[in-house]
Amino acid sequence: MFNNPINTFDIDAVYDESKEELELKDHFHNSFEIIYILEGKVECWVNNKYYTVSRDSFIFINNMETHKLKVSEYPYKRYYILIKPDFFRTSIQNPVFSSVFSNRSENFRHVLKNDGEMKDRIIKYLEYLYTEIKQKKNYWQDATKSILYLIFVQLYRSYPKYFPINNLSSSDDVIVKIQRYIEENFTGPVSLDEVSKLFYLNKYYISHRFKAITGFTFKEYLIMQRISKAKDLLLYTDEDITWVCMNSGFNNVNHFIRSFKKIENITPLQYRKKYRQHEEHGDGFTASSSPAKRKLKDRHHASFKG
């Protein structure tokens, strides 16, 4: 049985369980994603990495990573949490916690085994988070933020070496600041030359270290931030493509369309049409009375066999 997710401000929490053969197809969310396997086992592909993930394990996936899951052992039970990237810039302003999503060195593992002394406490926090979002009692938004913060605090206390920012040298702190600068200013005219002058660093040094720490080149990261913003604008507004282009940081419509298609394999208009169709057909989407205020009920598009 798969429950529909509970939709909330910047955080969604979902509990799933299944005893049937299930494959979660190649997809990605425009959110950070945390999956916690309570029971069962899954095969997991994130970009070009493969994992076998057993019970009591976390999977951390960012909003720029394509991923696929296939359940290999039943019964299968999990929590998954979707977090809008802006949440870490506005509510949890701690680069240590967000580094499990934003830093992608070659040796980064998306999977964390929860086998420490505080394992049961962390699971209980996940249960509390889901319950708060589901029941929506007084001040549930505040409770949700606090519980999510507690989850990250407990994860850090239990597994500090898992957080990539702790493995960086002090000289790399400036690269993390540059990454944050891009995230906060990508809708404007950001360039490597400008950033080089702003942070008093050689642009070739920035390019080399930025790729090593984030897994993306400076240009790739900037474009991915803009595409991510564009996808939200395409889904949640009825504005035309020129408006979406300009409000996501691109200054040329043709360049925007080419960049979007290169990453998504479809044009911006095709993307909007495709996911609006999901809304109309009930594939995990719901629409409010106004098409311009549609809310996404994000769900893994699951296909059952047999």
Mean pLDDT by 10 residues, the chain (306 residues): 47 89 66 97 95 98 92 95 90 90 94 96 98 96 96 97 91 94 96 98 97 96 96 93 98 98 94 74 33 34 30
Burial annotation 266-280 (CB, 10 A radius, 16+ → b, else e)? eebeebbeebbebbe
**Token pair belonging to 56:** 């009591």
How many Cβ atoms from other residues are within 10 Å of residue 288's Cβ?
9
CA distance 232 to 245: 12
Q: Look up the CATH architecture of domain 11-166.
A: Sandwich (2.60)
pTM of the complete model beyond 0.85 = no
CA distance 83 to 306: 33
The predicted-structure confidence for 85-123, as pLDDT tens digits, reads as follows 889 888 888 889 999 999 999 999 999 999 999 999 999
Residue pair 179/212 in contact (Cβ under 8 Å)? The answer is no
Q: Where exactly does CATH 2.60.120.280 map onto the chain?
A: 11-166
Q: Give the E-state strand segments of the chain in sequence order.
A: 11-18, 22-27, 32-46, 49-53, 57-61, 67-83, 111-113, 302-304
pLDDT score at 19: 78
pLDDT score at 27: 60
pLDDT score at 167: 85
Residue pair 151/173 in contact (Cβ under 8 Å)? The answer is no
Classify 20 as helix, strand or coil: coil
Residue carrying structure tokens 């047999």:
306
Q: Which amino acid is at 134?
A: K
pLDDT score at 282: 37
Q: Where exactly does CATH 1.10.10.60 map onto the chain?
A: 169-293
pLDDT score at 217: 96
Q: Reply yes or no on domain 169-293 having CATH 1.10.10.60.
A: yes
pLDDT score at 22: 64
pLDDT score at 66: 87
**Token pair belonging to 15:** 């509990």
Residue carrying structure tokens 């929490």:
13
pLDDT score at 290: 32
Residue 33, H or E segment: strand 32-46
> How far is residue 15 from each of residues 119, 128, 154, 242, measured CA to CA in Å?
18, 12, 21, 39
